[in-house]
Structure 1
């Protein structure tokens, strides 16, 4: 047995390469075959999108659980513990079961190396293999699978799902699946499979044709947000209209209401049923870690959200500003980002706020010199996250709201600091 602790496992995973020289599915398919094709033993719901795929995955998982299904969930990134990546019925995988899955994958890799000494997996392939192996062994009825990046070449794209979802298409990961919006749309359309229902969210008009062509070629039944199901947000709540059914939710941000509607539309394509009240309860009871997450600590209020691109920021900011206005206070912002993101355009969204920039102990994390010159001039910088968080909390009055955003890595680290000692 190679791995005896989760720390050993995660340290090993983080030191594996992130990419193969050739971006294909050869390696992950070979290890899954060596594991007995676990991905074919569970019905899957496959989700991609520039934004909203994590929230949609959590909502859909809760709907499936409410319908009495043994439900797996594979998401990224984690917020507090690595185990959150692989869940069963809303609970993170236990340490011992995570290690068992990892050691089974390692044994499969060792067998493959007997005939191919150079065989190796990248980090995400290892995680995908562990998840499918665990879900099959737990005899899941359904597993909700969130892609890593893209869709067609993503390591999760080894399944014929029960339903596919594309939540949004926008500019992100351009250096990997771009550079254009059309390139990104073509990559994400790879989640669409022949004859498999597909649910579509916010797809920009200029690339809808790319998606429609793929749907037509694959004869996939399609359900479009705005055409086949609707979301209406009023001051007193949200209304989801799906066929002849109407569902009522609290006054959520529009983006969250759309994610819930996507999950509901996907669920309705499956041979399962819930009453209106049951479906509403499943959605309202869903907590999405690091997404519009409100936390009160030491009498100060924090809103934590992992928005890390312009599209997500444009959805988050109006909601955060509204919350601050309703409280009668200011919106203060703490932001950290990965340096491969669109730092300038994202930070330019904060036209009204006092922003403090910070950094994280990751090679990809932007340091002070990585931020655009105009942002360094306009915004404060404190490289130590704990110091930055303490300073901002110290400046915040009781009615103010502190928004922590720009990266899920930041949200994870900030949550751990805020919850320390609880």
Structure 2
């Protein structure tokens, strides 16, 4: 098989299985070896966390670029185009480059099938192999790699990074890496490698011991938010105290300030330098798609964020309410979720808001019957996203804020609707 268009490639990827019977790294390691182990040819920064890993990845990538480095960035999910998953110097991979590495991966899979007829990759393994191969071919100085789910068994966990980061630990993906917070902490601690420094963010006290045990066992230098670097809220924004330097940031959402501090703490461990002003510029110039993203369109003000668990929602809602209050307007919420998420717990956060629920033409998307009975009684539901969006926009006044949340898939679809409007 030879892929000729990106649509051909993505159609193929989406028809691959999502999981193997065993959640080990055997398959992805075999295909990477067949490709010459590209993951070992680039210095990598490896990031996991229940929330904040994507933002931290974007911030760290921009700091590296500002320091004159050729950077690779691997993130998920994409918001508008698949190419966003794999980036070079902050730009999505070009179609021709994507097809080139895809065809090389497919050729490697073909050779492996000559030895083992039923050898196959799942979707994410294919994407990981393409990313590492592209970064190696481009001779990136650094690649910032965001895990998919978890860490220890995640398909990205195939290299020895120069620094590891765990942004937060909370409840999400319990069916895969749970069910308990302790299980999730153990899985995410799998990112910690022997003697490789690790940066740690918001880790609940109840599972801190699990992380510390892995750090001790691995003899890894550790740098903790609140102990080794600080985020202090001030009247006009935030002061970040990292590695003996002080950085000023504007009045961002608090989680974004913490993610920026995580990125600065990681950057401080690398043999690179940036002035405080240059670092501040790199951070403030960073746009993280689908995360606290603000937009004005067709006379409406939007805040779009793919939060889909209680930890992320608990940070997002106060910020959204504050923005609406600052405008002396109402907060109107358009929410859609995947049915394998904690629908009741997340939507409980919104119980005092004006909410319209919607859905997507996607197998995992929650339809009306998937929501708990109390949710169906309390919130309006319009299954057609275009209709739902138009209804909310028609209701919104000049001072109101429309919050789009519950899923990155929803944020992506809404952004595409708004772009075509």
How does the TM-score come out when normalised to structure 1?
Answer: 0.99
Contact 2:50–2:169, Cα closer than 8 Å, also in 1 = yes
In 2, Cα distance between the equivalents of 1:351 and 1:202? 26
- Aligned residue for 1:58, secondary structure, equals helix
1:257 to 2:257 alignment: yes
In the TM superposition, residue 243 of structure 1 has moved relative to its aligned partner by: 3.2
**Residue 233 (structure 1) shift:** 1.8
The corresponding residue for 1:300 is 300
Which secondary structure does the structure 2 equivalent of 1:199 belong to? strand
Regions of 4+ moved over 2 Å: none
Deviation at 1:382, TM superposition (A): 0.2
Q: For 2:408 and 2:233, how far apart are their aligned partners in 1?
A: 26
1:223-261 deviations in Å (ceiling 9; x for gaps): 000110010122311110113211000100100000000
SS state of the match for residue 97, structure 2? helix
Corresponding position of 1:67: 67
Contact 2:193 2:218 in 1 (8 A): yes
SS in 1 for 2:157: coil
Mapping of residues 231-310 of structure 1, within 5 Å:
231-310=231-310
- CA RMSD of the aligned region, Å? 0.6
Partner of 1:87: 87
Instruction: Map Cα deviations across residues 79-138 of structure 1 (whole Å, 9 max, x no partner).
Output: 000000000000000001000010000000001011111100000000000000000000
- For the residue of structure 2 that corresponds to 1:51, the secondary structure is coil
What's the counterpart of residue 9 of structure 2? Answer: 9
Which residue does the alignment assign to 2:176? Answer: 176
Greater CA drift, 98-107 or 232-241: 232-241
Alignment of 1:112 onto 2:121: no
Cα distance in 1 for partners of 2:35, 2:233 equals 46
- Distance in 2 between residues matched to 1:74 and 1:235, nearest whole Å: 35
Contact 2:238 2:248 in 1 (8 A): yes
Q: Distance in 1 between matches of 2:72 and 2:408?
A: 22
- TM-fit CA distance, 1:350: 1.0
Q: Using the TM superposition, give the Cα deviation of residue 65 of structure 1 relative to its aligned residue in structure 2, in angstroms.
A: 0.3
User: In the alignment, what sits opposite 2:194?
Assistant: 194
In 2, Cα distance between equivalents of 1:289 and 1:15: 26
Report if aligned partners of 2:160, 2:193 keep a CA contact under 8 Å in 1. yes
Quote the residue 1:147 is aligned against: 147
CA distance in 2, matches of 1:116, 1:341: 36
1:30 aligns with 2:42: no
Distance in 2, Cα, partners of 1:363 & 1:299: 33
Name the counterpart of 1:376: 376
Is 1:352 matched up with 2:352? yes
Q: Equivalent residue of 1:232, what SS?
A: strand
1:215 is matched with which residue? 215
Segments of structure 1 that go 5 or more residues without pairing to the other structure are none
- Contact 2:243 2:268 survives alignment (8 Å): no
Could you list the per-position Cα deviations for residues 154-202 of structure 1 after superposition, in whole angstroms to 9, with x for gaps in the alignment?
0000000000000000000000000100000000000000000100000
CA distance, structure 1, for counterparts of residue 107 and residue 260 of structure 2: 39
Whether the 8 Å contact between 2:164 and 2:191 is mirrored in structure 1 is yes
Which runs of 5 or more residues in structure 2 are unaligned?
none
